[in-house]
Structure 1
Amino acid sequence: MLPLIFTAGWASGINAYAVVFLLGLFGRIGWAGDVPPGLQRTDVLIAAAALFLIEAVADKIPYLDSFWDAVHTVVRPASGAVVSALIAGQDDSLPTMFAAAVGGTTALLSHIVKAGTRMAINTSPEPVTNIAVSTAEDFTVGGVLTLAVFFPVLAAVIAAVLLAIGLWVVYLCASRISRYRRRRRERRGARTGGTEPVLE
């Protein structure tokens, strides 16, 4: 259970709606036996699919993607924790609170990677890079989550490697991200008719 929980948490930090939809769908068609019945409900699948489509568009538009990420700073870790807890609830061998902590923490870390890399990309606000990165994220989440259903340990290893690489990339791009945030503060100050203090 733990490898699936880790992978679901990592994927939730990138696209929480895709995780809910895919896990629910896999459980519905009988590919995964550990998917909670709550995720397989028709209304949950429809809502997750609709929200995924909205995110698929918003995530490919420069600056809007960063706003979307900011809004989901709470949503993605919370979703990772809830999905992980629900998965753990299917098997008494893993404490629910521990599973929620693992899923929520992993989701938070992968969300930081997603939001950080998107800020770095938006320092050059042309849409091609945003579209390419967002599409790659969607396919990666779908592929790794599907792999987790059949080979959970392998999927967890891949998710861990991608998470480690992502955190390293965000660390390397920290100065670029800092400049991006400073420019945003300056633009907000200009719109309000004043100049906001810039903290270095």
Structure 2
Amino acid sequence: MRTIRLKKLGVSLACVAIIGAGSFSVMAEATFSPYVDDKGNISFPINFRTNMVHLGSWFVPSGGASGFHDVYTEKESVEAFRKTGKFPDGAVLVKELRASKSGTYTTGEGVNYATSDIKQWFVMVKDVKGRFANNPLWGDGWGWALYKPDNKAKNVATDYKTDCLSCHVPVKDKDWIYTEAYPTLNAQ
């Protein structure tokens, strides 16, 4: 996202444009999220590994979701969470699911590590205002998206209630987010 600020005669004009992969998109609100257009379509946050803060990781040893789940968000969202205990409006969470391998190293046997093989990405955008009530990928305070490695331009989720929500039910009272593995959210 590029933000251009012009100041003239004490008046500030902010122009926000989102340019990615050769496309142009208009945001729902200039202050909401650079990854959401005016219809509630969530775009994949390119370069999130270098532009966002790593909150923490989960390791799932077996099953379809096995591997490392690395979770990222914006620095401003971390700062807001540390103050309020909640993610702010427009916060973006990206969970990258990577395959894993194990081996014997000087640190021990059976050491698990993440590989470069990506299984999928989950993206959530906090929405405290309920902006997209008619969009089936928005509800319960969040926008929900799922991307596969073969096409980062296409959200393959079709209805958050059937595609996403069931995994989050145990943390319904925690704003649908498992935060136990996110030490970055704790001020130190």
Q: TM-score, normalised by structure 1?
A: 0.26
Q: Which has the higher strand share?
A: 2
- Choose between structure 1 and 2 for higher RCO, CA contacts under 8 A separated by at least 6 residues: 1
Q: TM-score, normalised by structure 2?
A: 0.28
Q: Which has the higher helix share?
A: 1
